[in-house]
Amino acid sequence: MGIMAATPVKAQYFRFCGNRYTADATIPLGGGTATWNQATTTLTLKNVQAENVSDNFISCDGIAHLKIVLEGSNSVKSNGSFLYWRGGNVEISGKGSLTARSENNEAIYMNGNAAPRTLTIKDCKLDVQGKRKSISGYENGDNTEMLNLVVDNATLKVKGATGGWGWKEPGITCLKSYELKNCHISTAGVRFGKRSNLTYYELLGTDNDTYPGEVEIVPGNAPTGISSVTADTLQGKRGIYTLDGMRLNGALDN
């Protein structure tokens, strides 16, 4: 007779402002409302003004797809992270805005997982800062990154930090991958990249090193630097020129 042992199923949980919710709920908060839909695993924040939240504002584990929808203007200040999660993808969307400040090192943090997960920020306006980093994923050595970041037609403002002994942290770090859709980094000289000795993506400056300052991603395509091209038919101006405008000898036809 064979004996089969059932693999334990890890229970999912959702916590909001330190309280666990297992059914639909509407929570008045700071003049607005936070509405939790258990069936769709959706939290809607509408004109929430939350000050001095002592715990993580949002935390969850085992939810396949957590959706955070922003309506109106929202503001959160918390001692813990604004968002801390394990196991599953997260989408922050909506037509509203959110300003989040966290006393934790990371304002948005995805903890270790057995498989990569994706954070999508779409259509909304999000200004988020932690004590050191705004958005960070799990990382424990080379090629262990688990967080994929997608920013789609959204305005995202992040900020890193600097401190003693010359350390510096970027606003976004420890990414397995990133994708900017219908938007671009508007902060001059800043890009996503990998430092030469690391395998994860983060925000880098023109020196190819960690960029700790404030960085903004905005909707639309990046400007090319050329707004228009016009034809000049004056024969006296025809010729061969260097990029800085110096005219060279030689026939144009050649």
SS3 per residue for 133-166: EEEECCCCCCCCCCEEEEEECCEEEEECEECHHH
Nearest-angstrom CA–CA distance, 73 and 99: 8
In degrees and rounded to multiples of 5, residue 40 shows phi and psi of -100, 0
pLDDT at position 239 over 80: no
Task: Report helix, strand or coil for 237.
Answer: helix
User: Rounded mean pLDDT of 136-152?
Assistant: 95
- Asked whether the beta carbons of 28 and 72 are under 8 A apart, the reply is no
197 alpha carbon, distance to own chain's centre: 23
User: pTM of the full predicted structure?
Assistant: 0.84
**What is the pLDDT, as a whole number, of residue 10?**
54
pLDDT at position 231 over 50: no
Question: Which are the contacts of 106, defined by CB distance < 8 A and separation ≥ 6?
Answer: 81, 130, 132, 133, 134, 135, 136
User: Rounded mean pLDDT of 27-33?
Assistant: 96
pLDDT at position 122 over 70: yes
Q: What is the DSSP letter of 235?
A: G
- Asked whether the beta carbons of 97 and 128 are under 8 A apart, the reply is no
pLDDT at position 96 over 60: yes
Stretch among 38-47, 162-171, 181-190 having the lowest mean pLDDT = 162-171
Nearest-angstrom CA–CA distance, 62 and 97: 27
Nearest one of 135, 62, 46, 125 to 93, comparing CA atoms = 125
**What is the pLDDT, as a whole number, of residue 225?**
57
User: Rounded mean pLDDT of 176-187?
Assistant: 98
- List the alpha helices (DSSP H) in the chain: none
| Burial classification of residue 61, based on how many CB atoms lie within 10 Å of its CB (0-12 exposed, 13-18 middle, 19 or more buried) | middle
Percentage above 70 pLDDT, the chain: 85
Buried b (16+ CB within 10 A) or exposed e, 139-174: beeeeebbbbbbbbbbbbbbbbbeeeeeeebbbbbb
Q: HSE-up of 2 (CA within 13 Å, CB side)?
A: 3
103: tokens are 């006393």
Nearest one of 2, 181, 167, 8 to 93, comparing CA atoms = 181
